[in-house]
Chain A
Amino acid sequence: MSETLHAVSVEVNGKPRSAQVPARLSLVDWLREDLFLTGTHIGCEHGICGACSVMLDGEPVRACLMYAVQAHGHRVTTVEGLAKPDGSMSVLQDSFCETHGLQCGYCTPGMLIASQGLLNSNPNPTEAQIRDAIGGNLCRCTGYQQIVEAVQLAAEKLKK
């Protein structure tokens, strides 16, 4: 009566990870519960709030809408993987700290993934583009104002 387990090999934050997972285990649950990467959060489990955002092969996606087994052979980056190689904060993470782009911290990993995804493909975003890029990430603390400022600051700093 137990569930079939499937072998998965996924590169997570640059490291190869292998596991045996039940099919219905979501990617976000696998990352959090089995890999102890609890930086990615769950807010709704139906694909609206964006708290679960991770990079899949470099593009932001909702980890609650994927099963872990589907990540087999792919690259996943979580908030824990955004730091610089020496472990220090990325320019974006530092910018969030500078502009007070977070309060409770719950939506923050998702916001970082979404905005890093934007900056990766558009190093010079307008305010409208920033809002669109984080439009699928809900926040109840900040009103988004200081988050937008953080992304703008990061873009400016990265230009130098």
Chain B
Amino acid sequence: MKAAPFEYIRAASVAEACELLRRHGDGAKLLAGGQSLVPMMAMRLVRPAWLIDINEIAALKLVSVEKDAVRTGACTRQCLVERDDALAAKVPLLAQALSWVGHVQTRNRGTIGGSLAHADPCAELPLVAQVLGARMLLRSGSGTRTLEAEKFFSGPMATSARPDECLEEIHWPAWSWRRTGSAFTEISVRHGDFAMVAAAAQVAIDGAGRCVRAAFGLGGAGGTPLAFPKIAARLVGTRLDDAAVKDAAHAAATETEPGSDLHASAEYRRHLAGVLAARALREARERARTR
């Protein structure tokens, strides 16, 4: 399983990467962690004429913990984000999701941006981005633009990034309420496998235990990671009691149109969606209650 031949260049800056993308168009692909791209190249499912290596661009590796958000460079290694305590305190859902991503070795090399750009609908980081409403900063030769997650993920393994754009940075919003709790859960056949279904949830409660904000979503249940803001909005004002949570989860699952494959049927996925969404919400609630 040796890749088909390709030309290779190590970009020294984002600007250079964008220029190369512009020049080579569809024939070029960006190489970040390689944990998803390189196997596909080994199987010759993907055969770019040009591979633009962005691993050595320092500017893409930033981690910045700010007042209302965390910013991560697109090439920040997953393992660094996983181990960053300050980041985990600000946006706990990221670290929680990362423990489900592949294995130690794949997280040592895989990047935050790489997973997002790969846009696997059952992947963990895209789901977190969708649920939190993360914003992607895309750079091209003609400047930058920001896309909300909702607009960024366009379909299975597809994003709205143009061929000449390089994902540069991701902005992960943090919630201001002290009593915020989040949770991530998924079911895969083996530990570290692609999720059959994944669920992420974040809730904030007031001093009296009433929900003031909620967000949750599902991975593996559609062509993109799915968030359910309208259903989540109905949880505001409740105590996030089990019945309310169950209703919300069930409502979300009912909306999904998951696919079927060797390991899970659509029907099974839809069932798992309801179960996992409820679990994530309950776990998030419990964490919020301890704050």
Whether A47 touches B6, Cβ cut-off 8 Å, given contacts A23-B51, A136-B192, is: no
The total of interchain contacts (Cβ-Cβ below 8 angstroms) comes to 87
The answer, yes or no, to whether B23 is at the interface (CB within 8 Å) is: no
| B155 part of interface (Cβ distance < 8 Å) | no
Nearest-Cβ distance from residue A65 to partner chain B, whole angstroms: 4
Question: B105, A53: Cβ atoms under 8 Å?
Answer: yes
Q: With both chains docked as a complex, state the minimum distance between the C-beta of A110 and any C-beta of chain B, in angstroms.
A: 9
Query: Which A residues touch B35, using CB under 8 A?
Result: 47, 62, 65
Check if B108 sits within 8 Å of A46, measured CB to CB: no
Report how far A69 CA is from B192 CA in the complex, Å: 28
Which of chain B's residues have a CB closer than 8 A to the CB of A22?
5
In the complex, residue of chain A having the shortest beta-carbon distance to the beta carbon of B33: A65
Neighbour of A23 across the interface among B6, B34, B191, CB < 8 A: B6
In the complex formed, the residue of A with least CB distance to B36 is: A47
Closest to A54 in B: B105
Please provide the chain B residues from 216 to 266 with a CB less than 8 Å away from any CB of chain A in the complex.
Answer: none
Contact of B8 among A4, A45, A62, A65 (CB under 8 A): A4
Chain B contacts for A123, CB-based, 8 A: none
Give Cα A89–Cα B7 distance, bound, in whole angstroms.
Answer: 41
Instruction: Tell me whether B103 and A66 are in contact (CB under 8 A).
Output: no
Tell whether, in the assembled complex, residue B7 and residue A60 are in contact, meaning their CB atoms are under 8 Å apart.
no
Is A3 in the interface zone, CB < 8 Å from B? yes
Interface string of A42-64 (1 = CB under 8 A from B): 00011100100100100111101
Q: B43 touching A70 by the CB < 8 A rule? A: no
The contact of A62 among B1, B6, B51, B106, by CB within 8 Å, is: B106
Q: For the complex, is B157 an interface residue (Cβ under 8 Å from A)?
A: no
Chain B residues within an 8 Å CB radius of A67: 8, 34, 38
Q: Which of A24, A50, A73 contacts B105 (CB 8 A)?
A: A50
If the complex has contacts A23-B6, A65-B39, are A70 and B103 also in contact, measured as CB distance less than 8 A? no
The answer for the CA separation of A61 and B10 in the assembled complex, in Å, is: 20
Q: How far is the CA of A73 from the CA of B42 in the complex (A)?
A: 24
CA distance A6 to B9 in the complex (A): 9
Q: Say whether, besides A46-B43, A47-B38, A65-B39, A60 and B106 are in contact (CB < 8 Å).
A: no
A60 to B109, CA, bound (A): 9
B interface, size bucket: 20 to 34
A23 to B104, CA, bound (A): 26
CB distance from B39 to the nearest CB of A (A): 4
Max chain B C-beta neighbours (<10 A), residue from A3, A29, A50, A70:
A70
Categorize the interface residue count of chain A.
20 to 34
With known contacts A59-B108, A60-B108, A66-B34, A24–B3 Cβ distance under 8 A: yes
User: B109 to A136, Cβ gap below 8 A?
Assistant: no
Q: Contact: B1 with A65, CB < 8 Å?
A: no
Query: Digit string of A66-106 for contact with B (CB within 8 Å is 1, else 0)?
Result: 11011011000000000000000000000000000000000
Q: Is B102 an interface residue (CB 8 A)?
A: yes
- Give the shortest distance, in Å, between A148 (CB) and chain B (any CB): 15
Q: CA A70 – CA B8 in complex, angstroms?
A: 10
Q: Measured between C-beta atoms, what is the minimum distance from A11 to chain B in Å?
A: 16
Assess whether B180 is interfacial by the CB under 8 Å rule.
Answer: no
Which residues of chain B are within 8 angstroms of A59 by Cβ–Cβ distance? 79, 108
| Min C-beta distance of B270 to chain A, whole Å | 28
Which residues of the other chain, A, contact B192 by a CB distance below 8 angstroms?
A: 135-136
Q: What is the bound-complex CA distance between A118 and B103, given in angstroms?
A: 13
The answer, yes or no, to whether A133 is at the interface (CB within 8 Å) is: yes
With contacts A23-B51, A66-B34, A133-B104 taken as known, whether A46 is within 8 angstroms of B39 at the C-beta atoms is yes
CB-contact partner of A136 in B8, B43, B104, under 8 A: B104
Complex CA gap A117/B108 in Å reads 11
Residues of chain B lying within 8 A (CB to CB) of residue A46: 1, 39, 42-43
CA distance A136 to B35 in the complex (A): 13
CB distance A6 to B43 under 8 Å? Answer: no
Residues in B neighbouring A72, C-beta threshold 8 A: 10
Pair A24/B6 contact, Cβ less than 8 Å? yes
Q: Which 7 A-B pairs have the closest CB atoms?
A: A136-B103, A23-B8, A46-B39, A45-B1, A59-B108, A65-B38, A24-B3
